[in-house]
Amino acid sequence: MTDDHASDPRRRYSAPVVDGVGKAPSRSMLRATGFTDEDFTKPQVGIASTWSRVTPCNMHINTLADEAGRGADAAGGKSVIFNTITVSDGIANGTEGMKYSLVSREVIADSIETVAGCEGFDGLVAIGGCDKNMPGCLMGLARLNRPSVFVYGGTIKPGKNHTDLISVFEAVGAHAKGDKSLIEVKQVEEEAIPGAGSCGGMYTANTMASAIEALGMSLPGSSAQNAEDNDKLEDCRAAGEAVLKLLDRDIKPRDILTREAFENAITVVIALGGSTNAVLHLIAMAHTVDVALSLEDFTRIGKRVPVLADLRPSGHYMMSELVAIGGIQPLMKTLLDAGLLHGDCLTVTGKTLAENLENVAPYPEEQDIIHALDQPIKKDSHLRILYGNLAPTGAVAKITGKEGTYFKGNARVFHSEEEATDRIMDGTVTAGDVLVIRYEGPKGGPGMREMLTPTSAIMGRGLGQDVALITDGRFSGGSHGFVVGHLTPEAQEGGPIALVETGDEIIIDAEANTITLNVEEAELERRRAAWTAPPPRYTRGVLAKYARTVSSASLGAITDGD
């Protein structure tokens, strides 16, 4: 019952909560949860778990949280597990519920900050599985700036016949075209998701896990492990132990999350052919630690970094197959040796990135998942930042080159994702169309839905090289084809995408990085004068609050801006 605040600097936050006679009520409450006298003298480590039965991505994370807690306890800390939310993009896609997806990133960050700030945890482990869990966890850890480690819940293994969730989405489009029967669609549905873990390609979950490891906030190898393998349990135990070492050295997220670390993350995302959502999330995460990161950084870095990974959605392999040949560590070693990574960045091991990679072995010679630097899949980035009279403050395209780099066609305008999907499925959309899906931005949706359902329908109907899609919404990491999202300013704010009419000519040039509406300026001014913003779709609740506070997608769609 003594006041120990100054005796153990590792207990900077927990000591004021539990030390001294005046904190007897606090200790009494904690005794009911299992604390002993000895526990009150230990640094407290909060274990932020995104466990839920909502989705296979997160349904095993309670087990992982227990292991992280054991690791922290064995290293001399006192672990306290708490939960935050998750939603499932894969389940909600194509419905009104998907509007809550990007919102969940903010809720997760807010909840981790709230619980840890209130309870006085000295260090943290956060474990995320589905798309928004990861940036949400990182943003929460970064706001608190207490010694912390992030753990990825791991990837799912392939379903029968090398299938995954995107196989199911595209099977639906193939059925609409007449290429698959209902029985065949049901077979894919039943077999594509065999167990726990995040979607199996280089979609948003695996992209963000890889980016966070490149940032230095995960232990080496954490991003490339199967969800249900023992390696993932060991990763969690080690993360719990690592927090105590970080407490000993007072290494905090802001010491790790430097501008150079974010450049490393961008480089790795590009080399892996990762999701467009990485642009949105990395900018938001950088904002949290006051690092100035912008769309221009993706263009600058993208000019010198090639795409090397032959991974889905545009490639052939799944994350579990990359895990089998060594994960992303050999790729990072290759990039470091080529001068494409900053090796002096600090990581949660307490060592630099270069020190972590020093003894990493190369990939097996016979593998063809990761290409050599001199034989890239694409010589520069697939993430293209486009500007033009359709996107004065930027748009984000995912152009691998397999779908071409130039598209000219006539607009077919839709005011919602559902409307566009219906017209794709019934055959109204034909070759040469540029689908314009608007009022799906952060404010207009609200919530900036992913367009996985329409892009999968396009691919399933065999129109992947014949149709382009542009939107002020965003895309799933599983989307592929000639797609451009994050058009800013968004339609709800009167951006040029609000002025497009069906039949207008649109040109997308992913070499010149331009997106152009071929309409005379005088005509656009006439349309602008006649345009009025539609009323908000929600006036109460979390979506209404989000719409009132969210920034432009080009600024990361943050809700805690200046």
Q: Determine contact, residues 158/191, Cβ cutoff 8 Å.
A: no
How far, in Å, CA of 346 to CA of 228, rounded? 29
* DSSP output for 159-171: BTTTB-HHHHHHH
CA distances from 427 to 175, 284, 411, 559 (A): 12, 38, 16, 39
Q: Determine contact, residues 208/135, Cβ cutoff 8 Å.
A: yes
Which residues have CB under 8 Å from 12's CB, separation 6+?
A: 5, 122
Which neighbouring-strand residues pair with 505? 410
Across 336-485, where does the E strand assignment appear? 383-388, 391-398, 406-414, 433-437, 468-471, 482-485
CA distances from 371 to 206, 271, 308, 335 (A): 19, 10, 5, 12
- Among residues 45, 120, 58, 60, the alpha carbon closest in space to that of 84 is found at 58
181 is catalytic: no
- Among residues 244, 258, 236, 235, the alpha carbon closest in space to that of 347 is found at 258
Q: Determine contact, residues 414/426, Cβ cutoff 8 Å.
A: no
Which residues have CB under 8 Å from 180's CB, separation 6+?
A: 171, 174, 188
219: number of CA atoms within 13 Å, CB side?
Answer: 24
* Amino acid letter, 48: A
Catalytic residue among 14, 79, 104, 476, which?
476
Residue 190 carries which DSSP code? H
Q: Collect contacts of 287-293 with beta carbons under 8 A, ≥24 apart.
A: 287/555, 287/556, 287/558, 287/560, 287/561, 288/109, 288/138, 288/139, 288/142, 288/143, 288/560, 289/142, 289/145, 289/253, 289/254, 289/257, 291/257, 291/258, 291/259, 291/262, 292/259, 293/259, 293/262
Active site residues: 476
